[in-house]
Amino acid sequence: MCGRYSITKVVKKTKNIVENNEGVQDIENYNAYPTQQLPIIKKNEDSLTLANYNWGLVPKWSEKITDFRPLNNARLETLTEKRTFSGLIKNQRCLIPADGYYEWRKNDEGKKIPYFLRREDSETLFFAGIYQKNNNLEFSIITTGATGDILNIHHRMPVILKEVEINNYLYSKDPMTFLNIHQNPKMVFYEVGRDVNNPSNNYINLLDPA
């Protein structure tokens, strides 16, 4: 799963990718969290647009459920089975730029220890996602089973694309085949301090090794 991530200088980092910008600014967000407005890349006909959407899908069928929690993640394995996601993966795909993301591992005492995960080459991550225009503009990050050493932290992780794979996903006529054969880039991770647990904390030192 993915519940927090870091994204900085997104306009600068995507200037060679997107043609249009719908009001996104180069903010420094070291602790992006669900319900927050965050930048995504979406396809508009033959061009790519950077826009701010709320993290967390709220399906139409859930509007009368008072305690419904927005869907921050969507499992790759069931995308075409869930009515909430099946139409979106066909027509409303997006990418979520990130510098890295946080995940929590339970230690032997049952305490959750935060880790920061990033690409081994420190390049920008592009999470595969889906979006919708509901009462708000909303997105969800697609997740898959973790592999390699990441399994020591958590059994799930985002589907992560490289810059050169962006068009393969956004313009694909068969996105599910692409996602199912896709391999995430090599990742590294390290323990960070527990200040990241509080979503109101947002400063660069959150990324410091513990």
* Phi, psi (deg, nearest 5) at residue 50: -100, 125
Q: Which CATH number fits domain 4-207: 3.40.640.10, 3.20.20.70, 3.20.20.100, 3.90.1680.10?
A: 3.90.1680.10
DSSP letter string over 16-67?
Answer: TT-SEEES----EEEEE-TTSEEEEEEEETTEEEEEEEEESB--GGGTT-TT
Beta bridge pairs of residue 158 = 143
CA neighbor of 113 nearest in space, from 149, 143, 152: 152
For 101-134, write each residue's pLDDT tens digit: 999 998 888 889 999 999 999 999 999 999 998 8
Helix, strand, or coil (residue 138)? strand
User: Given pLDDT bands bounded at 50, 70 and 90, which one contains residue 65?
Assistant: low
Q: Are 186 and 123 in contact (CB under 8 A)?
A: no
Q: Rounded CA gap, 93 and 198, in Å?
A: 30
Q: Are 85 and 76 in contact (CB under 8 A)?
A: no
Q: Are 154 and 71 in contact (CB under 8 A)?
A: no
Q: Are 145 and 6 in contact (CB under 8 A)?
A: no
- The pLDDT, as a whole number, for residue 58 is 86
State the average pLDDT over residues 13-27.
Answer: 93
State the average pLDDT over residues 72-92.
Answer: 89
pTM: 0.94
Q: Rounded CA gap, 141 and 76, in Å?
A: 10
User: Given pLDDT bands bounded at 50, 70 and 90, which one contains residue 69?
Assistant: confident
Q: Token pair for residue 49?
A: 């647009």
The residues spanned by each domain of the chain are 4-207
In this predicted structure, the answer to whether residue 51 has a pLDDT above a threshold of 70 is yes
Q: Residue 69 corresponds to which amino acid?
A: R
